[in-house]
Amino acid sequence: MSPAREVLVLNGPNLGRLGSREPDVYGTTSYAGLVRRCTELGGELGLAVEVRETNDEGEMIRWLHEAADRATPVALNPGAFTHYSYGVRDAAAQRTAPLVEVHLSNPHAREEFRHTSVVAAVADGTVAGFGIGSYELALRALADLLRD
């Protein structure tokens, strides 16, 4: 059996507040629950998943550089960085492995400013609107992209 492929699940601002932040929009699963679900599903898919969260744009950019340097696939929920951070977008564009953009809610069903993603154009795809299931679908997509 081959070793599990490392995958990063990177989360931007306010994702660490899952479960308490606007549960009607983002659901009631806690951040710890998200981490647990991602690592468990990763194991089922043959992926060694590491989940990280930051409210710092510079740290997110450094993590994306690390992923590019190590050819590590990424499931990326940029949070609010989605809509305006050209720094995060440019770091994601340097990827050397698959990258899937993830959102718990459907940005297109929300406020107008959320309708634009500066990251989407440099991602392999975007999964949005399925709550925690968005992460599950993103991890399955990464597993499929790695098999192809």
What pTM does this model have?
0.91
pLDDT tens digits, one per residue of 102-143: 998 877 666 676 668 999 999 999 999 999 999 999 999 999
- Confidence check: pLDDT of 23 > 70: no
Q: How far apart are CA 121 and CA 30, in angstroms?
A: 29
Instruction: Judge whether 51 and 38 are in contact, CB under 8 Å.
Output: yes
Confidence at 19, pLDDT banded by 50, 70, 90: low
> What residue numbers does the annotated binding site cover?
77, 83, 90, 104-105, 114
Confidence at 99, pLDDT banded by 50, 70, 90: very high
CA angle 40, 43, 44 (to 5 degrees): 90
Confidence at 43, pLDDT banded by 50, 70, 90: very high
Q: How far apart are CA 107 and CA 121, in angstroms?
A: 15
β-pair partners for 8: 50, 74
The sheet carrying 5-11 orders its strands as 47-53, 5-11, 74-77, 99-103, 125-128
pLDDT of residue 34: 94
- Confidence check: pLDDT of 20 > 70: no
pLDDT tens digits, one per residue of 62-95: 999 999 999 999 999 999 899 889 999 999 999 9
- Confidence check: pLDDT of 50 > 70: yes
> What residue numbers does the annotated binding site for substrate cover?
77, 83, 90, 104-105, 114
Q: Is 56 exposed, middle or buried (0-12, 13-18, 19+ CB in 10 A)?
A: exposed
Confidence at 30, pLDDT banded by 50, 70, 90: confident
Question: Among candidates 148, 100, 91, which has minimal Cα distance to 124?
Answer: 100
CA distances from 120 to 20, 93, 125 (A): 27, 10, 7
The fold for domain 5-147 equals: Rossmann fold (3.40.50)
Domain ranges of the chain: 5-147
Angle between helix 57-70 and helix 86-93 axes, rounded to 10 deg: 10
Give me the active site residues, please.
26, 103
